[in-house]
Amino acid sequence: MDHIRTLLHAARIPVRWGDMDALGHVNNTVYFRYMEQARVEWLESLGQAIDPGRKEGVVIVNASCTFLVPITYPATVEVQLFAGNPGRSSVPTYYRMYCAGEETLYAEGEAKVIWISGVTGKSVPLPDHIRARLAPAASSHG
């Protein structure tokens, strides 16, 4: 994970029976959905609604996940979303997944979030209100 991280959001997501695979644990692809849901909730809390009609939007250019302990139904996944130091148009995001009421780290992941123009499809500078929310990560860098 990045040197400097700021906790931005925590999401609680119930594990659905259908999230599991034939081996009896949450399918690996679903972990990416859990990270996505936390990211969408965070963006919406900043007034950055996910809407294809917006003049600016958000995409990710990469995503990864390290699966440490299998999650099984029933459970509620707690996804903690952190940010690293922002760039001109992007910010690295990091995720930690726990099950409610437990201290065990079940998985951790990363995704690079980029702001783009809905018109050109090219990157644009991070909005000032987003950069301000990320300031603790940038200012605590020594």
Within 10 angstroms of residue 112's Cβ, the number of other Cβ atoms is: 16
pLDDT in tens, 18-70: 999 999 999 999 999 999 999 999 988 888 766 666 678 889 999 999 999 99
For the chain, give every domain's residue range. 6-137
CATH class of 6-137: alpha beta
Mean pLDDT of the chain: 89
Q: N- to C-terminal Cα distance for the chain?
A: 17
Split at pLDDT 50, 70, 90, the class of 131 is confident
H-helix or E-strand spanning residue 39: helix 28-45
Task: List residues bridging with 116 in a β-sheet.
Answer: 57, 123
Better pLDDT: 135 or 31: 31
Residue 110 pLDDT exceeds 80: yes
**pLDDT category of residue 142 using cuts at 50, 70 and 90:** very low
Tell me what pLDDT residue 4 has.
Answer: 60
12 — phi, psi (to 5°)?
A: -115, 120
What confidence score (pLDDT) does residue 3 get?
56
More confident residue, 121 or 53: 121
The three state secondary structure string of 47-83 is CCCCCCCCCEEEEEEEEEEEECCCCCCCCEEEEEEEE
Residue 83 contacts residue 6 (beta carbons within 8 Å): yes
pLDDT of residue 140: 44
Longest dimension (CA), the chain: 47
